[in-house]
A = this chain, B = another copy of it.
Amino acid sequence: MILTLSCPDRPGIVARVSTLLFEHGANIVDAQQFDDGETGRFFMRVVFTPGPGGAEGVRPGLEALAADLAMDWTLRDPKARRRVMILASQTDHCLADLIWRWRQGELPMDISAVVSNHPEASFPHTDLKGIAFHHLPVSPETKADQEARLSELIDATGTDLVILARYMQILSEDMAGRLAGRCINIHHSFLPGFKGARPYHQAHARGVKVIGATAHFVTPDLDEGPIIEQDVERISHRDQPKDLVRKGRDIERRVLARAVRWVLEDRVLLNGRKTVVFTD
């Protein structure tokens, strides 16, 4: 079982949580915590093997603790896989990579659906066998309608997490708000550098020597959501925008895959406009 929690810091939190688990026969196999001295907020992630009575027995105790400590918490059986919807547009490198990793067993999730504003035939080389595909075309005129259908689909498929895998449509403020905390985007720049469109062309024009990619939670403020993961690669004056696009595909794939895996493993906790990431 994976327990995550956050609350205002005060003495005794670890003692109370670990004693509660111990009293129910659980064995803690991993635990990480963080005390944000700036905001006075405490964050913790605990992985434990339940005792003979099972894990559910700890819930009432956690509820009591939560009430007492003003604590946000989640308790999840890692075997209960999250349902994940992947949205993509024309470029499929992030989509194909997520599906490949999922088939390899790297990403503990079920894919509730793949959704694109382009038809399934646009992805001839991505192995979509056994995955529900929905084509939701969009134009400026139909954007509101399309988002309404997308919302319905998210609900109907029991989707827990939405991944914008180079989905080249900007979500409306309303939609971004609805999905707050459960929608991850990959931006193809090292934020906060090169926000907005065509970041590789911006990077080439500015003459930077390193490019990057950023996986972040989507918020109504474009490119301003809490950052989950970033990575970079060196470039040189020889690299044309098309080379940056090629090198960037590799960075985007690994940054997004790491961010998704960490979220699926409950390693990412929101801390205002930032994240706490208990990496492995």
A: which residues have CB within 8 A of B? 9-16, 18-19, 21-22, 25-38, 51, 93, 96, 100, 103-104, 106, 125, 127, 129, 190-194, 206-210, 212, 226-232, 236-240, 243, 246, 249-250, 254, 271, 273-277, 279-280
8 additional contacts (CB under 8 A) given A11-B28, A206-B274, A237-B277: A14-B18, A15-B19, A15-B21, A18-B19, A206-B227, A207-B274, A209-B230, A209-B277
Question: A271 — which chain B residues lie within 8 A by C-beta?
Answer: 207, 237
Main secondary structure of the interface of A (DSSP, over half): mixed
Q: Are B15 and A27 in contact (CB under 8 A)?
A: no
Quote the shortest CB–CB distance from A91 to chain B (angstroms).
Answer: 9
Chain B residues, CB < 8 A from A22 = 11-12, 14-16
Count chain B CB atoms within 10 A of each CB in A11, A29, A207, A229 and give the residue with the most. Answer: A207
**Cβ–Cβ < 8 Å partners of A190 in chain B:** 190, 193, 210
- Contact A277–B26 (Cβ < 8 Å): no
> Which residue of A9, A33, A243 has the most chain B CB atoms within 10 A of its CB atom?
A33
A30 contact from B33, B38, B230, Cβ within 8 A: B33
A26–B9 alpha-carbon span in the complex (Å) = 13
Smallest CB-CB separation from A233: which chain B residue?
Answer: B254
Residues in chain B near residue A276, CB distance under 8 A:
237
Q: A93-B104, A280-B238 are in contact. Are A35 and B26 (CB under 8 A)?
A: no
Q: Which of B11, B31, B129, B209 contacts A26 (CB 8 A)?
A: B11
Report the minimum CB–CB distance from A279 to chain B (whole Å).
7
Query: Given the complex of chains A and B, what is the CA–CA distance between A207 and B232 in angstroms?
Result: 16
On whether the beta carbons of A236 and B277 are closer than 8 Å, the reply is yes
**Chain B residues within an 8 Å CB radius of A104:** 93, 249
* Chain B residues, Cβ within 8 Å of A206: 191-192, 227, 273-274
CA distance A230 to B233 in the complex (A): 11
Partner of A14, one of B14, B192, B274: B14
Can you list 9 A-B contacts (CB < 8 A)? Answer: A15-B18, A18-B19, A19-B19, A29-B37, A38-B240, A192-B194, A207-B274, A210-B230, A239-B280
